Amino acid sequence: MAQDSLFDPIDPLKVHTKPPEGHSSNSRLERVLRQGRFAVTSELNPPDSANPEDVYDAARPLSEVVDSINATDASGANCHMSSLGICSLLTRVGYSPVLQISCRDRNRIAIQGDVLGAASVGVANILCLTGDGVGVGDQPGAKPVFDFDSISLLRTLRTMRDDSMFLSGRKITQPPRIFIGAAENPCIPPYEVRAERLKKKVEAGAQFIQTNYIYDVPRFERFMARVRDLGLDDKVFILAGVGPLASARAAKWMRANVPGIHVPDHVIERLEGAEKQGEEGKRICIELIQQMREIKGVSGVHVMAYRREELVSEIIQESGVLEGRHAALRGRRARKLET
């Protein structure tokens, strides 16, 4: 299956070799970012199934257009196949996944064990999340854990990697070689503390950031200006979150019901005025990607559309952000197929 990808498949065993100078892992995502290329990531929304083919079917359209695939971790506090299970399947076939860890569901013992287990099967990217409360999900009677928040989780992973040590002080004989990330929400109040909160995450160990959906570009530009004032653009790679809106009605619903998402009035009005609102939502997303690429300090985009991986692939290709990468990669792929 990995042969379907325009991007070089990775050998999961190579994540255990010594990383290149200046790298903390052998992650393809880290390599792309440190080379100064505009990175593209997306999400694979987990199936309600134990069938690995359901994972591979969702991954195929993404594999040709992204540098790494996030496996969400019970997002919205709803149960699906685990992020660790999906990442294990993806590494088997050479894809570069991002393991998401939500602090909501596991204590520090389970999390540290999961990190070693993930690293052992080739997972090199980890995104640290506090997680939504169980009350918003479909099993509100579940007991939340929250032994960590995202910042203490970041510190823990950095300690495991850099100090070869569990939080207990016990030695780790083979530390995980991992590229550590966190999430940020630049477009919701209190706006004035968002960049400062990002600074805390960077100080705790975040090396890359994936933001929530951004539809308010001027607000995001002000956030990035503050990020640059704090010198954070030289310390962390920021991937701006974008996604297509299916309709004005869907945009209004998201604004009213999904925590952390702000959709400006002018975006909703543009959708309302369109003959085909879904197509207009796709065009808006493409324009957002192109705008994000021009903002100083933005290192890539994180493109999200719930269980619409084919649409994500179309958006990324039509945005033009992969121009200059496809030609070289096609040649490399052709040489492989000839041998």
Domain CATH number, residue 199: 3.20.20.220
In the numeric block, the tokens 């002000």 are attached to 222
Does residue 106 form part of some domain?
yes
Does residue 154 form part of some domain?
yes
Does residue 250 form part of some domain?
no
Does residue 254 form part of some domain?
no
CA atoms lying within 13 Å on the CB side of residue 180:
26
The confidence score (pLDDT) of residue 329 equals: 37
Torsional sign, CA 61, 63, 66, 71: positive
The confidence score (pLDDT) of residue 335 equals: 30
**Averaged pLDDT in 10-residue chunks for the chain of 339 residues:** 46 70 93 96 90 94 93 76 94 93 93 96 95 73 89 98 97 97 94 95 98 96 97 97 96 88 95 97 98 98 91 96 60 31
CA-based nearest residue to 88, from 56, 57, 60, 62: 56
pTM for this prediction:
0.90
Does residue 282 form part of some domain?
no
CA distance 284 to 316: 12
> In this structure, how many other beta carbons lie within 10 angstroms of the beta carbon of residue 270?
18
User: Across-strand partners of 239?
Assistant: 210, 300
The confidence score (pLDDT) of residue 1 equals: 39
The confidence score (pLDDT) of residue 145 equals: 85
The per-type count for the chain, helices as H runs and strands as E runs, is 12, 8
> In this structure, how many other beta carbons lie within 10 angstroms of the beta carbon of residue 141?
6
Q: Are 321 and 40 contacting, i.e. CB atoms less than 8 angstroms apart?
A: yes
Q: Are 160 and 172 contacting, i.e. CB atoms less than 8 angstroms apart?
A: yes
Does residue 42 form part of some domain?
yes
Does residue 213 form part of some domain?
yes
CA atoms lying within 13 Å on the CB side of residue 54:
12
Q: How many domains does the chain have?
A: 1
CA distance 309 to 58: 6
CA distance 79 to 74: 5
Measured CA to CA in angstroms, residue 206 lies from 137, 209, 218 at distances of 27, 7, 25
Does residue 257 form part of some domain?
no
The confidence score (pLDDT) of residue 10 equals: 57
Cβ neighbours of residue 18 closer than 8 Å, sequence gap 6 or more: none
User: Residue 1 has which token pair?
Assistant: 């299956």
What is the DSSP-derived secondary structure letter of residue 25? S
Domain carrying residue 177? 2-244+297-338
